Every structure is written in structure tokens, then in C-alpha cells.
Amino acid sequence: MNAAAVKKRIANWGNYPVVEAEVARLETEERLAGLLSRPMIARGMGRCYGDASLGERVLSTLPHDRFLSFDEGTGDLECQAGTVLGTIVETFVPRGWFLPVTPGTRFVTVGGAISADVHGKNHHIDGSFCRHVRSLRVMTADGGIVNCSQNENAELFDTVCGGMGLAGIILSAVIRLKKVETPYVRQETVKAKDLGEVMDLFERSADWPYSVAWIDCLSGSGRALMIRGAHATREEALGLPVSGAKTPSLNVPFFLPSFALNGVSVKLFNALYYAKARRGVTTAITGYESFFYPLDGVQNWNRIYGRRGFVQYQLVLPKEQSRAGIAAVLKRVADAGQGSFLAVLKLLGKGEHLLSFPMEGYTLALDFPITKNLFGLLDELDAIVLRHGGRLYLAKDARMNAGTFNKGYANADAFRARKAKFDPRGVFQSLQSKRLHI
């Protein structure tokens, strides 16, 4: 790609697919324009699970990671696109600020969060990440640098937000942080006996800023633990260290053999996890790290799925279809005896950009180790999702086909038209965009 480009075997979080790519680093904006003569795709922390930031030529944005300015009055933080969300929270939580929206890991770049228009546990109230982006600087396919926002070059802004890196390279962004009184969260855990009960709980908890549920998807009933939370006030966190709680860090040092995670071990883990929680409602004041980023406490946890990797299957269904559709998906998964350690349910609000994943309804995320029969099962789940008017999350996808994408994303053609306008030569391409003909 240039003098600094090296050939590497890379994969994203699911370790599937693994590809040989020419990887260059975004060192300076001046040199970047010279790299746009052939197709490429931007890549941040590689925390999308599948192939959205993989291609033959990849641009790592990680060296582009500086804070540029901060306005104490408004909370507006300007930073380069390779800045990792974890660096933002570590720096700003002690000063009384938090991210307006955060995904379930802090090891994500600002560029990646904008391109996937990521959602958090507060989507039903605060929308996705891009709602809080005040402006962007973007390098377009012709090498020009364009400032854009909802008021300036608004069409480009709308296409880049949630645009999966296909409309331009985000160089820097201004994000509005939100004020918090403490680094703690007041959390309630509520046990639910089945899917219907947990959905009722979501409805009744709609005024809680954050809510999420863990589902025991092998139990058949969809029994669940729902966790809801709000940033703790000074009074609620009285007596706790002002610096916040440190979460211990564990590591999975190597890929576990694939038999380590089979249907029996997952069933046992889920049963124990559910049984450990007390009946009714349990209240706690917890550090923000363990509330927002419980999985980050175990580094490289993706290795428990073995070298063959895994797929995260994340679907969303319109609210009125959610109960029947999610029950049908869980039933099919349980019948297939496919264990999913992680089965997470959230309530979402409206999607705001052409390829944004959210729609008003419920989203379910399931992790599956890659096995011989998996893709056949996932094709069956696709049919259930489409039958119920839903779609799959591009940031998690490694295998859906173009038909499923087109049916799920009503604005797929509108996005293609915008891409043709901003990137007529097709400079920005990923393995995913080629598979889905975006």
C-alpha cells in the first residue's frame, strides 16, 4: 500500500474469517490521500465480530488517537478517530463526564462507534452513538477533507454515520459527553421466569436510563435476569472511593480446544448463573466498569470458542413481532442443541441513519462457536427474522447473504445511491460490502 504497509493475517473479534491483508497505518492525513488509488477499508480495534473491517487492503486508524480539544461548558470533546472509548472514559469519568452512549466493550474506536452507529443499554432513551456526534472531519474517496454535521454537508454526515466505513474515512469527531456525579451506577437485578415476563419488565422499566437482560437460551422458557441501572448520585455513592472501583482483569492466554464449550457445559453454566441470582429484585451500587463492560474483565475471552472462531448473531424485530419472533428463534436454537453462552436482550428505539441497525423493538444477540452445521441453522434463523420483519446487525455479521440484507434494510438501495455519489470509484470496500453488494 505504501512503504509502511505490511502483509498480515488478521481477523476481527469472532476470529472468523481470518484473512491475509495489506495493512497500512494512518500516520498523517497528508499521506492518506495518496493511498486512495486502490480499494481499501478503515479498521479500528477490530471489535466488529465478522468481516466489516476486513479486506485485501486495510487502513489501521489506531495511530490517529489524540484528544484535540474539550469544552468544559458543553462537554464537547474533539478527538481523532482512532481514539479508543476506554481512553475517553478513563480520562473523563474522574472529571465528571461519561460517554453519552457506549457499547458493551470499551475497546472500540470513535471511528468504529460512528461507522456502526453503535447502541448501548440506553438506546430506548438516548438513541445511538451518532445522535451525540456534533460534527465530523471526513476524507472522501477523492482525497478531499470535508467538515460535516447535521447542518453542514448533511447528506455526507448522514451517510458516514452508520455507513460501515463505505462512504469515507472519519479523521476526527466532536462528541458531546454527558455529566455524571460519580463513577458508580445504581443497579437492580430482577429475575424473570420466561421471555414474556422479561419483556414486561422492560416495558415497566422504560424510564430507567439503562436496561439489558441475559437470557438462558437453553432453558426452553427463556428465563432471564434483567439488569437496569442509573448513574449513581453523590448521596447514593457516599462513602465509596471517589476514584471509582477497579475491576480485576483476567486473561484467556490461548485458544481453548473446541470441545471445552459444548452444549452440556453451556447448559450447566447458564443454570448455575441463573440459580446464583436471588429471587425478586436485588439492588447494588457498582463501578461503571462492571456495569457497562462486564466482559472486558476477561481479556481475550473470544478464545474460549477455540481457533475456529465464533459468530455473534444479533437480530432486531419490530416490537409487535418481538415476542413471537424471539420465542421462535430461541425454540429453534434450543431444538438444535446449539449452546450460546451469551444471549443478551435489549429494548431499542428508532434507527436514525440509512444503515443503522436499531428499529423500535427488541434485539437479541447470541454467540455460536463455528461448527459444521452452524451456517445451516443460521440460514433458518434468517428466515424467521425476515418473516417477523426484522434484520441483522452488520457490525456482528460474517455470513448473511445479500438477499437477507436487502430485505432487512429498507434503505439498502438508498445507501447504494449515496455511496455511488460520494465514492463513484468504489474505493471503500470491505469483504462484507462485497458479499452484500453494497
Ligand X SMILES: Cc1cc2nc3c(=O)[nH]c(=O)nc-3n(C[C@H](O)[C@H](O)[C@H](O)COP(=O)(O)OP(=O)(O)OC[C@H]3O[C@@H](n4cnc5c(N)ncnc54)[C@H](O)[C@@H]3O)c2cc1C
116 binds ligand X (CB under 6 A): yes
Select the span of 71-79, 110-118, 177-185, 251-259 touching ligand X (CB under 6 A). 110-118
Our finding on whether 50 is near ligand X (CB under 6 A) is no
Stretch touching ligand X by CB under 6 A, among 101-109, 181-189, 213-221, 279-287: 101-109
Tell me if 419 contacts ligand X by CB under 6 A: no
Q: Which of positions 5-24 make contact with ligand X (CB under 6 A)?
A: 12-13
Dihedral Cα 350, 105, 222, 303, nearest 10 deg: 140
Q: Check binding of 106 to ligand X (CB under 6 A).
A: no
| Residue from the set 41, 161, 198, 266 that interacts with ligand X by CB under 6 A | 41
Query: Is there binding between residue 105 and ligand X (CB under 6 A)?
Result: yes
Q: Which stretch binds ligand X (CB under 6 A): 89-97, 164-172, 182-190, 324-332?
A: 164-172
Q: Is there a contact between 354 and 414 (Cβ–Cβ < 8 Å)? A: yes
36 lies in the site for ligand X, by CB under 6 A: no
If one asks whether residue 81 binds ligand X (CB under 6 A), the answer comes out as yes
Q: CB-wise, 384 or 431, nearer to ligand X? A: 431
Least CB distance to ligand X at residue 279 (A): 28
- Residue among 150, 170, 57, 51 nearest 109 (CA): 170
Which residue in 39, 75, 100, 104 binds ligand X (CB under 6 A)?
104
Q: Is 108 in the site for ligand X (CB under 6 A)?
A: yes
| Cβ neighbours for 53, distance < 8 A, ≥ 6 positions apart | 12, 41, 42, 43, 44, 46, 112, 165, 430
Nearer to ligand X, 202 or 334 (CB): 202
Residue 46 binds ligand X, judged by CB under 6 A: yes
Per CB under 6 A, 42 contacts ligand X:
yes
**Count of residues of this chain found to bind ligand X when the rule CB under 6 A is applied:** 34
| Residue 415 C-beta: closest distance to ligand X, Å | 13
Q: Site for ligand X (CB under 6 A): which residue of 83, 115, 189, 322?
A: 115
Binding flag, residue 25, ligand X (CB under 6 A) = no
Is 381 a binder of ligand X (CB under 6 A)? no
Residue 164 touching ligand X (CB under 6 A): yes
CB atoms within 10 A of CB 71: 12
Q: Give the nearer residue to ligand X in terms of CB position, either 36 or 237.
A: 36
Amino acid at 5: A
Task: Please report whether residue 118 would count as binding ligand X according to CB under 6 A.
Answer: yes
47 binds ligand X (CB under 6 A): yes
Q: In angstroms, what is the minimal distance from the CB of 121 to ligand X?
A: 7
What are the grid coordinates assigned to 136, written together?
A: 465530523
Asked whether position 229 contacts ligand X by CB under 6 A, the answer is no
Q: Is residue 112 at the binding interface for ligand X, with CB under 6 A as the rule?
A: yes
For ligand X, which stretch binds (CB under 6 A), given 35-43, 197-205, 224-232, 324-332? 35-43
Question: Among 220, 408, 223, which Cα is nearest to 313's?
Answer: 408
From 161-169, 216-224, 269-277, 278-286, give the range in contact with ligand X by CB under 6 A. 161-169
Which of these ranges, 118-126, 238-246, 327-335, 397-405, lies near ligand X under the rule CB under 6 A? 118-126
> Footprint of ligand X on this chain (CB under 6 A)?
12-13, 41-48, 52-53, 61, 81, 103-105, 108-109, 111-113, 115-116, 118-120, 164-165, 169-170, 295, 395, 430
